[in-house]
Amino acid sequence: MNAPALETRGLHKSFGALTVANAVDFRLESGARQALIGPNGAGKTTFVELVTGALRPSAGQINLDGADVTDLPQAARVKRGLVRTFQITALFRGLSILENVTLAICERQGIGGGLFWPAGRYRAAIEEAHALLEQVGLEDEALSPVTTLAYGRQRLVEIAISLALSPKVMLLDEPAAGVPSAESGTIIEVIERLPTDIAMLIIEHDMDLVFRLAQRITVLVQGSILVEGTPEEIAADPEVRRVYLGERPRR
């Protein structure tokens, strides 16, 4: 069996007496479509921050494609293909969406630090960025600043940026959060069409989305994994019902 795309062993984080991640052992296989669910405050976003390197763990190990990345800074993990989107859109607000994506591509190609030639010279990068925007259906607004886009479409830019980084593992933090239901359909479609060789972990509260997209679900409660399984198993599990599914999220 190949090494999993992403794996944590004993991942632990506490702030004083408060434990937000409790010796978590987690596996994400390559090409997986997995969801991470749990009640508010369960530690889902913290988990993402630990895995991506934005937060340093108190203990434990993080493996990316079999290699230990626990001590690597966030940027290095990104270069190895570990990419995330943000729950609250984190884009370069004053820049056009084409530029947002181009920035990501330049970083991936290692030309982000080029001092001498104007950015406009790097046609290939800009065209690739444009192609990505086409892929998510945003090419008409390529030159518009981020701030002029509807929130749902901004979330699509987040996804485009993630794709620009040639991800092997994508962590999508509540991709449809805060998006009116009229627009969330597009987001779901885009996610469904993502390449199958990318391992995907989606953090979500919207159970319709979860059941539609995920082949496997992990339930996180108070920093520990409660149970893992197929959507059917999770839906039927009484523990899960009690802890989480019992509180139906308002849609």
Residues that bind other proteins (CB under 8 A): 52, 54, 74-76, 78-79, 83-84, 86, 90-96, 98-99, 102-104, 106-108, 111-123, 126-127, 130-131, 134, 139-140, 142-143, 161, 164-165
136 neighbors 142 (Cβ within 8 angstroms): no
Q: How far is the CB of 141 from other proteins (least distance, A)?
A: 9
Q: How far is the CB of 22 from other proteins (least distance, A)?
A: 22
Judged by beta carbon, residue 131 or residue 245, the one nearer other proteins is 131
Judged by beta carbon, residue 116 or residue 238, the one nearer other proteins is 116
Report the Cα 120 to chain-centroid distance in Å. 29
For strand 18-28 and strand 6-15, is the pairing parallel, antiparallel, or unpaired?
Answer: antiparallel
How open is the CA angle 19-20-23, to the nearest 5 degrees? 80
Q: How far is the CB of 176 from other proteins (least distance, A)?
A: 19
Judged by beta carbon, residue 115 or residue 182, the one nearer other proteins is 115
Q: How far is the CB of 101 from other proteins (least distance, A)?
A: 10
Q: How far is the CB of 94 from other proteins (least distance, A)?
A: 6
For strand 82-85 and strand 169-173, is the pairing parallel, antiparallel, or unpaired?
Answer: parallel
Report the Cα 138 to chain-centroid distance in Å. 20
Judged by beta carbon, residue 38 or residue 53, the one nearer other proteins is 53
The CA distance from 42 to 45, in Å, is: 9
Judged by beta carbon, residue 19 or residue 89, the one nearer other proteins is 89
Q: Side chain identity at 29, as an amino acid letter?
A: E
Whether the CA torsion 57, 60, 63, 69 is positive or negative: it is positive
